Structure 1
Amino acid sequence: MILLVLVASVLIMGVTIYQFREINIDYHQNRMERKEEQIRQSIDLAIQKTTYPVTTENLGLIFKDEIYEIAVVQNMNFNLYTLDGQLIKSSRPKFDNDPVPTCLSAEVLNNLEASVDKRYVEKNSAAGDQYQASYTYISDRQFKPIGILNLPYFEDNSFNDKELKEFLARLGGVYFLMLLLAIGLAYFVSKYITRSLETISGMMERTDLTRRNEKIHIDKPGEEIEKLISSYNAMIDELGQSAAKLAKSEREQAWREMAKQVAHEIKNPLTPMRLSVQSFQRNFDPNDPDINEKVDEYSKTLIQQIDTMSSIASAFSNFAKMPAQQNETLNIVEVVKLALDIFNEDYIHFITEEEKIIAKLDRTQLVRVVTNLVKNAIQAVPDVESPRILVSVAVEDDMVKISVADNGVGIEKELEDKIFEPKFTTKTSGMGLGLGMVKNIVETYKGTIKFTSQPGKGTVFCVKFPREIMSNK
């Protein structure tokens, strides 16, 4: 509103100045033409009355005194020239001291001769004022040109300039009052609008993925605010669903890792047990009929149980397999930004060297890698006075590099070799599967994950993925 008032005032002032100038131009042009016509009529009348032969040589005699009378009556000085441009007579009383040219330039004579109406107007500036001079032919009684009439005309714009200044002053006062009204109205309108926006902003600041978020309810909001509230409430619903899916996904992933461990522990002794029982069955003394039957029955039962345990272990192992990769062409920068949106910590910062880095990866698994690394960084900075986490994405040769750096507690040297082991954790809660899962995903893509750490200063995890890779089934 304020901008509209300012722009309108500037445009109207510009149009006003332009209009006044156009009026001035038309006024002076019409006035000069009227004066010129009146002087020509007076000259023609003097030529009709004179007793001298009407020739170029006698123009000085014809208008010896008549030229001053005409100038006084018309309140306008003028000059008479011969056809070749020589000054004959001027109405100025002190001709010798006046800057009236005694000879017209060739340009003036040529332009006058070439003009259709035998009239030429010359425009110049003199002493800071606009100066015009018209040139027309003087004819005898047979309409034969015998001389040239020169009418100098100085434009006096002082009155019009004064009127323009007064008008602009009044217009400026009106627009200043309108500007004050616009500022006041804009203030109250903005306060009315931002009252609802402040409520929405406060709710957004309290939005947290780890807890249940409340929806916004405002009585009689405006149309735009109602759309914003509806979008926020829909986002809260989607956020709750996403949080539930993420929690479920992480639990499933944790159980997959645990299943691998269980399967490994169960399957290790199975083969030796089977071989031992079979060996015992073959080497037992067959002379004892009762013992032989019992051992055979025992062996069959034991082998059946072993096969059952092997089936259970295989089922666990199949459950623990990573899901098939759904590789797609992704903008890594955009996906990492979206992965960071679930975190509300204001000390998490994201930088990138490029706006778009294209690679073929599984979107879900990439999000898992980023979120687990960031969570690990957040858990490392709870006691830091000024926590800071920096997530960066860059390109190195044919690899996509994702780095997560924090200024947390760091990792002790003796623990660095165990950091990617499943079920290993330095925290009081959690299963210790996050970094192990990240390493599993990265290695599935034939990538690398490394870290550098200084105890008490912070840790940097660096993940590299090939930009082009075929899906692993």
Structure 2
Amino acid sequence: YIRNYLTTGERQIIGIGRIVEARLANGDSIPVELKIGEANIGERKLFTGFIRDITEKQANVHRIGELQAELSNFSRLSAVGTMASAMAHELNQPLTAVANYLEAARDMLDDPSPDNLAMVQEAMAAAAEQSIRAGQIVRRLRDYVSRGELDLRPFPLKEIIDDAVTIAKVGIDGPLARVVLRLDDPDVKVMADRLQLRQVFANLVRNAIEALAETENPQVWIHGRQAGEEIIVEVRDNGPGLSEDLLHSPFEAFQTTKATGMGLGLSICQTIVEAHGSSIQVASEPGTGACFTFTLRIASDVAM
């Protein structure tokens, strides 16, 4: 290093320092930080070397890396209790749908007319589809615990929302709110974990429908508008709006104003939306309904 510096003037270690390997008298090698200082004495140059054993420092850095990895894994695993509750919440919708479809099929079999048998087949097919969805939810939870990753692929946004609205309406007692979907580009595709994103829309729409139970002319609007490489999504209703307590921290787990329910729907939505690289906001005024907003990344031609 010194010879090269004296020849070329290029500083590779002078005043910079670097990590090198040193050999002890017993033959062991250790990592050391080598720094060389330069001093001019008349026409002579004096170089002084400073060597510091960094074995412990590197061990600490390595240990910190291990602890960070363990902490990351622990953070996921420590959330398993909440995730188990979340899974129960998510499984409730498809399992309720299965029960409703099978119950309807059983009732129609009391009068096995050709028309009823055709509807029984449709109900059984729908029940099978929902049972598959329940299995997908369990597998996604397993994948989350093991890897903490999403399966992001290009999917038609309209298709995801249509499926979610159908799921959200299952098991609702009484009149259903009118759900209006408007996408600036009906064919737009977004990068998403289809199952997870469908759960977001299903939760938001179902919450809106339930909140509109006593509203005259209940309506839910879903709007997607393009902004650069993203789609801004709004889910809005004309219900009573969020309560003051819920509006203070709407996405906190286990917080609910419903007589039944676990208060996990919005918390799940927030987790999924954030995993997609976005954030979800809510605006609500008493008597004017609630509006949830988040963004999704548009799938590029390369991704598709």
Aligned 8 A contact 1:420 1:439 in 2: yes
Q: Which moved more, 1:348-357 or 1:431-440?
A: 348-357
**Aligned residue number for residue 338 of structure 1:** 163
- Pairwise CA RMSD: 3.2
Match of 2:126 among 233, 236, 239: 239
**Aligned residue number for residue 441 of structure 1:** 272
**Aligned residue number for residue 75 of structure 2:** none
Aligned 8 A contact 2:231 2:295 in 1: yes
**Aligned residue number for residue 324 of structure 1:** 149
The letter of the residue matching 1:459 is A
**Aligned residue number for residue 251 of structure 2:** 420
**Aligned residue number for residue 355 of structure 1:** 186
TM-score when normalising by structure 1: 0.36
The letter of the residue matching 1:329 is P
Aligned 8 A contact 1:448 1:465 in 2: no
After TM superposition, the structure 1 = structure 2 runs for residues 14-413 of structure 1, keeping only pairs within 5 Å, are 211=100, 212-214=103-105, 215=108, 219=113, 230=118, 232-246=119-133, 320=145, 324-342=149-167, 343=169, 345=176, 347-413=178-244
Aligned 8 A contact 2:98 2:128 in 1: no
The letter of the residue matching 2:212 is V
Aligned 8 A contact 2:241 2:284 in 1: yes
**Does the C-alpha gap of structure 1 residues 249 and 455 become closer, same or farther in structure 2, counting only changes over 3 Å?**
farther
Q: Which has the larger radius of gyration?
A: 1
**Aligned residue number for residue 466 of structure 1:** 297
Identity over aligned pairs, percent: 23
Q: For residues 222 and 99 of structure 2, what CA distance do their matches in structure 1 show? A: 21
**Does the C-alpha gap of structure 1 residues 247 and 380 become closer, same or farther in structure 2, counting only changes over 3 Å?**
farther
The letter of the residue matching 1:327 is L
Q: For residues 349 and 450 of structure 1, what CA distance do their matches in structure 2 show? A: 20
Secondary structure, in 3 states, of the residue corresponding to 1:422?
A: coil
Q: For residues 147 and 268 of structure 2, what CA distance do their matches in structure 1 show? A: 10
The letter of the residue matching 2:192 is L
Q: CA deviation at 1:399?
A: 1.1
**Does the C-alpha gap of structure 1 residues 468 and 348 become closer, same or farther in structure 2, counting only changes over 3 Å?**
closer
The letter of the residue matching 2:104 is N
Secondary structure, in 3 states, of the residue corresponding to 1:341?
A: helix
Q: For residues 412 and 234 of structure 1, what CA distance do their matches in structure 2 show? A: 43
Q: For residues 152 and 287 of structure 2, what CA distance do their matches in structure 1 show? A: 39
**Does the C-alpha gap of structure 1 residues 331 and 452 become closer, same or farther in structure 2, counting only changes over 3 Å?**
same
| 1:383-405 Cα shifts (integer Å, max 9, x gaps) | 11221111222222211222211
**Does the C-alpha gap of structure 1 residues 337 and 388 become closer, same or farther in structure 2, counting only changes over 3 Å?**
same
Q: CA deviation at 1:464?
A: 0.8
**Does the C-alpha gap of structure 1 residues 238 and 324 become closer, same or farther in structure 2, counting only changes over 3 Å?**
farther
Aligned 8 A contact 1:357 1:395 in 2: no
The letter of the residue matching 1:353 is D
The letter of the residue matching 2:281 is K
**Does the C-alpha gap of structure 1 residues 330 and 318 become closer, same or farther in structure 2, counting only changes over 3 Å?**
closer
Q: CA deviation at 1:251?
A: 8.4
The letter of the residue matching 2:194 is R
TM-score when normalising by structure 2: 0.55
The letter of the residue matching 1:385 is E
Q: For residues 322 and 434 of structure 1, what CA distance do their matches in structure 2 show? A: 23
Q: CA deviation at 1:318?
A: 9.3
Secondary structure, in 3 states, of the residue corresponding to 2:242?
A: coil
The letter of the residue matching 1:243 is Q
Q: For residues 322 and 409 of structure 1, what CA distance do their matches in structure 2 show? A: 40
| 1:187-221 Cα shifts (integer Å, max 9, x gaps) | xxxxxxxxxxxxxxxxxxxxx776232257665x5
Bigger proportion of residues as helix? 1
Q: For residues 287 and 216 of structure 2, what CA distance do their matches in structure 1 show? A: 12
| 1:31-55 Cα shifts (integer Å, max 9, x gaps) | xxxxxxxxxxxxxxxxxxxxxxxxx
Q: For residues 439 and 417 of structure 1, what CA distance do their matches in structure 2 show? A: 15
Bigger proportion of residues as strand? 2
Aligned 8 A contact 2:189 2:299 in 1: no
**Does the C-alpha gap of structure 1 residues 360 and 250 become closer, same or farther in structure 2, counting only changes over 3 Å?**
closer
Q: For residues 124 and 284 of structure 2, what CA distance do their matches in structure 1 show? A: 39
Aligned 8 A contact 2:104 2:123 in 1: yes
Q: CA deviation at 1:321?
A: 6.3
The one of the two structures with greater contact order (alpha-carbon pairs below 8 A, sep at least 6) is 2
Q: Structure 2 unaligned runs (5+)?
A: 1-96, 171-175
Secondary structure, in 3 states, of the residue corresponding to 1:213?
A: helix
**Aligned residue number for residue 11 of structure 2:** none
Aligned 8 A contact 2:281 2:294 in 1: yes
Q: For residues 210 and 147 of structure 2, what CA distance do their matches in structure 1 show? A: 26
**Does the C-alpha gap of structure 1 residues 252 and 460 become closer, same or farther in structure 2, counting only changes over 3 Å?**
farther
Q: CA deviation at 1:235?
A: 2.8
**Does the C-alpha gap of structure 1 residues 426 and 209 become closer, same or farther in structure 2, counting only changes over 3 Å?**
same
Secondary structure, in 3 states, of the residue corresponding to 1:373?
A: helix
